[in-house]
Amino acid sequence: MKPILPGAAIGVLGSGQLGRMFAIAARQMGYRVHTFSPDSDTPAGLVSDLEVNASWEDTKALKAFASDVAAVTFEFENVPFGVTTALEALLPVRPSGTVLHIAQNRIREKAFLAQAGLPVVPHKAVRRLEELRTALQEIGYPAILKTAESGYDGKGQIAIHSALQAEAAWNAIGGRDAVLEAFIDFECELSVVAARGEDGSFAHYGLLENHHKNHILQTTTAPARVPDQIAVEAVEVTRAVLEGLGAIGVICVEFFLTRGGRLLINEIAPRPHNSGHFTLDACVTSQFEQQLRAVCGLPLGSTRQFQAAAMTNLLGDLWARGEPDWGAACGRHEVKLHLYGKREARPGRKMGHMTALGGDADSALKAVTDAMLVLGRPEKG
């Protein structure tokens, strides 16, 4: 396919903050951006050229949307597979609907990884209570029961510590298709954000170190503070994932590093990722520009990182006692503030993020942590 050049319109399925940052990157390069989602007045819609508000089932609206754009990408996983199938008959969808179909269901995702011989958390697919009981005997305790679909930021997950808890756990997730995973005693959580071009080219942002709080990403440190051989292995595994999927676009692979030094894939995100937000300020090419380049068939950009960086999420909890003191945070010369234009702050809702640069990972993490403190209203645990 010939490259899609600046001046063209690119379609985005979904309209949250990832779409917003993609739209900003695309417009900087001279592209127009159209978003499609059931919602209005959205973070992405506020900065796009056209915000289409329609149901995913509205085939007429989808066809009209497709007729106005040169290619389509997505900014979250919960786009119905039928939507991507319909659009792929009309124009390029990147990453493909097949990639989305695999990544939006943990059973399919784990099966893909296992069949590819990639290091995945021990698991069993469960579709009935009796299958859960059998799987628990094989996996052992404790174990984590996760819904096959629609789970993120810890939603749709429950820990099981004994056979007596099996039925209650099954009922708690609504008795639907799920995956039972072994509990991993991990040293840390890691991720690799990478891109694959139409020509098979590969680019990555190194290994990132992630710290979660209440199942929501709290901080990312880049580069990860782990041995070099772990970083090399994680990148090669990520390359194998993207090549195995035949993906064109940006993908994030999330890992556990066990206390024994083994990398295990936790899950795949078929889009730019929260842990890659630091690239907006710390790299030659951000993950969002990279997504655009891949979608449009342009050469992938340099991922060179200027300095070590750390990112922290700004959750709605910060607004509990009023507007945070943005002036105090922006008074730190090494800190960059990004807010997503969401009108309502709710506990646990991602409202924005801050990034800090430093001479090394430790100093960058300290800088962004200190910036959180000077906001005057640090998040509650």
pLDDT, tens digit, 9 for 90 and up, residues 77-127? 889 999 999 999 999 999 999 999 999 999 999 999 999 999 999 999 999
What's the pLDDT score for residue 156?
79
Measure the CA–CA gap between 286 and 42, rounded to whole angstroms.
Answer: 22
Residue range 9-93 in CATH 3.40.50.20 = yes
pTM of the model: 0.94
Q: Determine the average pLDDT of the residues in 346-375.
A: 95
In terms of CATH architecture, what is 186-374? 2-Layer Sandwich (3.30)
Confidence of residue 378 (pLDDT cuts 50, 70, 90): very low
What's the pLDDT score for residue 154?
56
In terms of CATH architecture, what is 122-182? 2-Layer Sandwich (3.30)
Tell whether the model's pLDDT for residue 312 goes beyond 90: yes
Measure the CA–CA gap between 16 and 124, rounded to whole angstroms.
Answer: 32
The domains spanning 9-93 and 186-374 adopt the same CATH topology: no
- % of residues, the chain, pLDDT over 90: 91
349: which residues sit within 8 A by CB, 6+ positions away?
315, 316, 342
Please report, for the chain, the start and end positions of each structural domain, with discontinuous segments joined by +. Answer: 9-93, 122-182, 186-374
Lowest mean pLDDT among 82-86, 206-210, 248-252, 318-322: 318-322
168: which residues sit within 8 A by CB, 6+ positions away?
none
pLDDT tens for each residue of 214-270: 889 999 999 999 999 999 999 999 999 999 999 999 999 999 999 999 999 999 999
Q: Determine the average pLDDT of the residues in 139-156.
A: 83
Measure the CA–CA gap between 44 and 46, rounded to whole angstroms.
Answer: 5
Confidence of residue 381 (pLDDT cuts 50, 70, 90): very low
What's the pLDDT score for residue 337?
97
Q: Determine the average pLDDT of the residues in 198-207.
A: 97
Nearest to 256 by CA among 164, 191, 333: 191
What's the pLDDT score for residue 376?
65
Q: How would you label 198-226 residue by residue, b for 16+ Cβ within 10 Å and e otherwise? A: beeeebbbbbbbbeeeeebbbbbbbbbeb
